[in-house]
Amino acid sequence: MSDSYLDHIPSIDRERIKKRLRSPEAYAALRERVKGPEDLERHMEQMDRMAEAHFALESDPKMQESLRSHIEKDISEQGIDAVLDAAKASPEARKAVEAGKFVMKVSAHPKTKEDALHAVTEGRVQEKLPVKPNFSDRYVSQLLQSKPHA
């Protein structure tokens, strides 16, 4: 018979953990994380698109430059805060992005932990500024449409 980790902790702590796991808040949080078949399919499609975008950005410098020019144009028209999630960015990072000194990469979003587009500043200290989701979806769609198919 296998022992649970709960069997090795004091009974007071064990009861506290069991009570927290049975709480309505914990149950609601768990329900939020459970996905249905439609949600899983959408999630898989999104991850597939982000993987393709990541490969295109890493393998084709023209794609990188094209995406960067789109983002520079949108930043000049609408402002950095409308395009990027730059609320916690340092002033140096904001200046670098506004000056066009950045590259585009796909990496995990700091909040959602899912793949997302990021503007990564050039220089010694690199900061990742996530692209807002509405712009990210548009950029990925444009990137994949302009990608030459083999």
Q: What is the pLDDT along the chain (150 residues), one digit of tens a residue?
A: 457 766 778 888 878 877 777 778 777 877 777 777 888 888 889 889 999 989 988 988 898 898 889 899 998 899 888 888 877 888 888 888 888 888 999 988 877 788 888 888 887 777 888 888 888 888 888 888 876 654
The answer to the question of residue 43 being in a domain is yes
Phi-psi map region of 80: left, alpha, beta (phi>0 left; psi -120 to 50 alpha): alpha
Q: Which domain holds residue 97?
A: 37-146
Residue 150 has a pLDDT of 47
Question: Is 121 part of a structural domain of the chain?
Answer: yes
Burial class (CB in 10 A: 0-12, 13-18, 19+), 12: exposed
Q: Which residues contact 2 (CB under 8 A, 6 or more apart)?
A: none
Does residue 21 lie in a domain region?
no
Angle between helices 133-146 and 61-78 (to 10 degrees): 140
Tell me whether residue 3 is in a domain: no
Q: What is the pLDDT of residue 147?
A: 66
Give the count of domains, the chain.
1
Residue 28 lies in a domain: no
- Domain for residue 14, yes or no? no
> Would residue 93 count as lying in a domain?
yes
Q: Is 95 domain-assigned? A: yes
Q: What are phi and psi of 45, to 5 degrees?
A: -65, -40
